[in-house]
């Protein structure tokens, strides 16, 4: 049997959530939050606000939220309509499975993470426009004008901004500086006037392709002109009477999240307590098994058949649950993907959550992958390009920058979208909106969203504490449990090690942005992650 329950001692991360009666916007950059709130105050809906926030973050959070990348938007309108808008990047048509391998078949360091060969075709501009035209009520020019103003007039750099900018190539920015971006303002003005055509068929695409060609990249005008967004059916699952709506492939987020929840649903976490030995053991073991499946079975649905129904089947969850020892860690070397073999078939991100006065909800997670992406800006376009090609499998069995060891279903093919971990999620109960959440964090995104949900549903935390709480992560390979300071007591760490777990302390990760709706009063409660101090949760 498990050792006796010991509650973890933690650092001081408790705080009250933001409270607003009608509407709430939560982002990791206060300028962007205010832009979203202003749109809502002037009659725009949650999707309008999301579009405005998306462009504002491209100015004030250039490491992460950026028009040089791509992502996902999950929309739930107050009348029950749901849409998952996929604007994930695509591989250039000239990309092949051996793109990053030398003549001996070995992965060439940094080729998939730095420079133009690392760049996938960005999707953010087309994704935001699709959302606006389908669900929004305001003009593109009106929604982009705040971002253009921030780029042209500048914004004050805060202390946390300065910390982030230390890793930005080619610039020195200090706290207290006013950062103006005239090139980016011109690019955004062009998009506001001409829409996606400016980005995918006009001067912006031309500048990116020219720079790519000059620096040994393979992007072409055909890659840009052929780019398209998808609308997909969200993943659905239930947990303790709550209904979850989340991200389907090419995101692994919703499937892996729901698979974990399916495995752990019978366990009494509320009785065991937050990050107790029992809670930690069973959650980590469920994560270990779900990530083994994630890394093996999932990929771009345009290229592979994803076994979503099998992975989320209750019997399959019971099978995985039965394989968990009550008192020992299962070595990852002994955890095979649970569906058996399959036939071969040809960390920096940002997330935000919005709820308007009508009850429309939007969760957006988008990215340029690593901090400042591939580290390149094409000509005078003014924005960093992604290094999203690293999210593909450069070589089966070789980890990517996030340590994820993936299989051939996520291999590199021209026009393919790389498998993602982004997990924008909306939760309802009895048909009523309850929670909106998401986070950056690379391969850890899924477990961040999991812990945020568990903190609210299982442990009764307020939403601010739920996003603040120290985190734990396990992704099958490497066979190590990562934890933030304060996640475990000394006694719990000793118990976990005695059970066979390898533990590794990591300073911090992710930036969860969440909203909970008080089921009795309808009050919007917002939580912005303490890990990004420039963030803000507010509304009216």
Q: Note whether 137 and 45 are within 8 A (CB).
A: yes
Give the span between the Cα atoms of 212 and 347, in whole angstroms: 23
Distance (Å) of CA 263 to CA 1, 267, 284, 307, 322:
19, 9, 11, 17, 9
Q: Which residues contact 484 (CB under 8 A, 6 or more apart)?
A: 470, 471, 472, 505, 506, 507, 508, 509
User: Residue 108 is encoded by which pair of tokens?
Assistant: 């060439």
DSSP annotation string for 232-268: EPPEEEEETTEEEEEPPTTBSHHHHHHHHHHHHTTS-
User: Residue 532 is encoded by which pair of tokens?
Assistant: 């990004």
- Which phi and psi angles does 193 have, rounded to 5°? -80, -45
Beta bridge partners of 24: 355, 539
Kindly provide the b/e burial profile for residues 472-493, where b requires at least 16 CB atoms within 10 angstroms of the residue's own CB.
bbbbbbebbbbbbebbbbeebb
With H, G, I as helix, E, B as strand and everything else as coil, classify residue 376.
Answer: coil
Q: Is 349 a catalytic residue?
A: yes
**Which one from 187, 283, 349, 425 is the annotated catalytic residue?**
349
Q: Which residues contact 398 (CB under 8 A, 6 or more apart)?
A: 107, 405
Phi-psi region of 382 (alpha: psi -120 to 50; beta: other; left: phi over 0): left
Residue 109's Cβ-count burial label (10 Å; 0-12, 13-18, 19+) is exposed
> Which amino acids are annotated catalytic?
349
């Amino acid at each position: 049997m498990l050792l006796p329950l010991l509650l973890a001692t933690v650092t001081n991360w408790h705080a009250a959530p933001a409270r607003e009666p009608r509407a709430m916007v939560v982002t990791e950059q206060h300028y962007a939050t205010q832009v979203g709130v202003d749109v809502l105050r002037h009659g725009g809906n949650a999707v309008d606000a999301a579009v405005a926030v998306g462009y504002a973050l491209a100015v004030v959070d250039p490491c992460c939220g950026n028009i040089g990348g791509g992502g996902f938007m999950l929309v739930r309108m107050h009348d029950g309509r749901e849409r998952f808008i996929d604007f994930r990047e695509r591989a250039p048509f000239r990309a092949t499975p051996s793109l990053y391998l030398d003549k001996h078949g070995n992965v060439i360091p940094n080729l998939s993470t730095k420079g133009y060969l690392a760049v996938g075709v960005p999707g953010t501009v087309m994704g935001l426009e699709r959302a606006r035209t389908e669900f929004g009520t305001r003009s593109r020019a009106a929604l982009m004008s705040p971002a253009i103003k921030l780029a042209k007039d500048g914004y004050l750099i805060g202390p946390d901004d300065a910390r982030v900018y230390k890793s930005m190539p080619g610039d020195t920015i200090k706290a207290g500086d006013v950062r103006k971006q005239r090139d980016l303002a011109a690019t955004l003005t062009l998009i506001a006037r001409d829409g996606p055509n400016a980005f995918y068929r006009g001067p912006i695409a031309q500048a990116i392709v020219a720079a790519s060609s000059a620096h040994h990249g393979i992007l072409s005008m055909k890659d840009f002109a052929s780019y398209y967004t998808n609308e997909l059916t969200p993943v659905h699952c239930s947990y303790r009477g709550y209904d979850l709506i989340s991200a389907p492939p090419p995101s692994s987020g919703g499937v892996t999240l729901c698979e974990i929840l399916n495995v752990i649903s019978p366990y009494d976490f509320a009785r065991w307590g937050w990050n107790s030995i029992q809670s930690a053991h069973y959650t980590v073991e469920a994560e270990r098994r779900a990530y083994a499946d994630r890394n093996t079975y999932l990929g771009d649905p345009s290229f592979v058949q994803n076994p979503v129904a099998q992975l989320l089947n209750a019997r399959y969850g019971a099978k995985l649950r039965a394989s968990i020892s009550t008192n020992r860690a299962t070595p990852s070397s002994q955890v095979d993907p649970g569906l058996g073999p399959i036939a071969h078939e040809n960390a920096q991100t940002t997330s935000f959550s919005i709820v308007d006065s009508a009850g429309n909800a939007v969760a957006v997670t988008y990215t340029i992958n690593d901090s400042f992406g591939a580290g390149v800006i094409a000509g005078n376009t003014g924005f960093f390009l992604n290094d999203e090609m690293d999210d593909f499998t450069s070589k089966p069995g070789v980890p990517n920058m996030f340590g994820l060891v993936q299989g051939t279903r996520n291999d590199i093919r021209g026009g393919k979208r790389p498998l993602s971990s982004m997990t924008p999620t909306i939760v309802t109960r009895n048909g009523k909106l309850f929670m909106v959440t998401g986070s950056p964090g690379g391969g850890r995104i899924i477990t961040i969203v999991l812990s945020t949900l568990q903190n609210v549903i299982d442990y009764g935390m307020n939403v601010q504490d739920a996003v603040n709480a120290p985190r734990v992560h396990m992704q099958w390979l490497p066979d190590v449990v990562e934890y933030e300071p304060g996640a475990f007591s000394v006694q719990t760490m000793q118990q976990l090690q005695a059970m066979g777990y390898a533990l590794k302390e990591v300073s911090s990760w992710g930036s969860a942005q969440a909203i909970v709706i008080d089921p009795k009063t309808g009050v919007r409660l917002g939580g912005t992650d303490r890990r990004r101090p420039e963030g803000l949760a507010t509304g009216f």
